[in-house]
């Protein structure tokens, strides 16, 4: 028996909370919430939780990698708005006997790498290890980029090849412990500079690929009311097409923009690897295709009960 689905549950939460109204420019449902500040700026807020047995397996992941990834998952949501991260609150639920030092070392390493200041949080005992981070951010140059602004004719870009993290997990399960894909799974990278470059270049919509291209493209297209016609999907070396389409946790950015030349120029000016054009937005919101075929594959969805 299937439940209402993650998006439907989020919609029901939004309806319950909407009478409170007001502050958020865009609240529930984008990569990060955007709240207007008195000085006219915009504050970004996001939160993410990693749960042992759901998001990671301590038999395959070193606790320091879990700490690293927990920060990256949040920073990536800020990056997907064209923002840069600021302050974090870290809340941990810790099972009996679990040593915290390794987890916190990875967390501190990642926070340092992205300029995130951890300013508080909470600790509790519990049955499963949970790492929950709330993170703020701001957009240094341009207004935030939402998921909802893509228009028919916009070119669709990804900031790099996909599937490396999923391939890395497959290799780890097969007993491998090194290589580029394993590293991509253990220590993913959030694309902060790329997100800012995309915003600068006039990106109309953006999302980070945390749940797989097929799922995250559906989110962007649905929020924008457009369809998408993909020509090809760039597959990371060592990964296969299925992993590139449905593998989560690549944390590359997916965005739409009307002017490919401006996109190339902005990435070049920032000395970044140019993003890859993968397709185009189309009028018909029903159309989601790859090389003329219906886009297969859905990423992970949690089973929820309302």
Q: Is 202 left (phi over 0), alpha (psi -120 to 50) or beta?
A: left
Other Cβ atoms within 10 Å of 59 Cβ, number: 7
Residue keyed to tokens 């002017």: 259
Window contacting Mg ion (CB under 5 A); options: 85-93, 110-118, 208-216, 297-305: 208-216
Nearer to Mg ion among residue 64 and residue 210 (C-beta): 210
Using CB positions, name the residue nearest to Mg ion: 31
Judge whether 161 and 213 are in contact, CB under 8 Å: no
Binding of residue 31 to Mg ion (CB under 5 A)? yes
Q: Three-state SS for 48?
A: strand
- Residue of the chain from 194, 208, 249, 250 that contacts Mg ion (CB under 5 A): 208
Judge whether 291 and 231 are in contact, CB under 8 Å: yes
User: In the bound complex, what is the minimum distance in angstroms from residue 223's beta carbon to Mg ion?
Assistant: 12
User: In the bound complex, what is the minimum distance in angstroms from residue 247's beta carbon to Mg ion?
Assistant: 15
Total of chain residues touching Mg ion, rule CB under 5 A: 4
Distance CA 5, CA 295 (A): 20
Nearer to Mg ion among residue 10 and residue 265 (C-beta): 10
Binding of residue 249 to Mg ion (CB under 5 A)? no
Q: What is the DSSP letter of 162?
A: B
Window contacting Mg ion (CB under 5 A); options: 26-34, 60-68, 157-165, 224-232: 26-34
Q: Is 191 exposed, middle or buried (CB count within 10 Å of its CB: 0-12, 13-18, 19+)? A: buried
Residue keyed to tokens 């915009």: 42
User: In the bound complex, what is the minimum distance in angstroms from residue 100's beta carbon to Mg ion?
Assistant: 27
User: In the bound complex, what is the minimum distance in angstroms from residue 46's beta carbon to Mg ion?
Assistant: 8
Distance CA 71, CA 62 (A): 15
Contacts (CB under 5 A) with Mg ion, residues 50-109? 77
Binding of residue 211 to Mg ion (CB under 5 A)? no
Residues forming the site for Mg ion (CB under 5 A)? 31, 77, 208, 210
């Amino acid at each position: 028996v299937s439940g209402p689905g993650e998006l439907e549950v989020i919609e029901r939460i939004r309806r319950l909370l909407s009478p409170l109204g007001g502050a958020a420019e865009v609240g529930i449902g984008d990569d990060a919430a955007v709240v207007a500040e008195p000085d006219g700026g915009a504050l970004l807020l996001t939160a993410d939780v990693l749960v042992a047995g759901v998001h990671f397996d301590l038999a395959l992941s070193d606790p320091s990698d879990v700490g690293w990834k927990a920060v990256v998952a949040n920073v990536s949501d800020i990056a997907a708005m064209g923002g840069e991260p600021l302050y974090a609150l870290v809340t941990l639920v810790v099972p009996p006997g679990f040593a915290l030092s390794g987890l916190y070392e990875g967390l501190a390493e990642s926070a340092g790498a992205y300029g995130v200041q951890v300013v508080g949080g909470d600790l509790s005992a519990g049955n499963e290890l949970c790492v929950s981070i709330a993170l703020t951010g701001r957009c240094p140059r341009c207004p935030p980029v939402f998921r909802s602004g893509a228009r028919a004719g916009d070119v669709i870009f990804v900031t790099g090849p996909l599937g490396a993290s999923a391939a890395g997990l497959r290799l780890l399960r097969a007993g491998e412990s090194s290589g580029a894909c394993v590293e991509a799974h253990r220590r993913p990278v959030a694309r902060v500079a790329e997100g800012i470059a995309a915003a600068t270049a006039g990106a109309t919509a953006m999302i980070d690929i945390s749940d797989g291209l097929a799922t995250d493209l559906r989110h962007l297209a649905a929020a924008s009311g457009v369809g998408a016609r993909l020509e090809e999907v760039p597959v990371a070396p060592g990964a296969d097409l299925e992993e590139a389409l449905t593998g989560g946790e690549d944390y590359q950015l997916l965005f739409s923009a009307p002017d490919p030349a401006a996109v190339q120029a902005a990435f070049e000016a920032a000395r970044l690897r140019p993003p890859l054009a993968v397709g185009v937005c189309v009028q018909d919101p029903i159309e989601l295709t790859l090389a003329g075929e219906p886009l297969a594959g859905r990423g992970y969805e949690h089973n929820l009960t309302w």
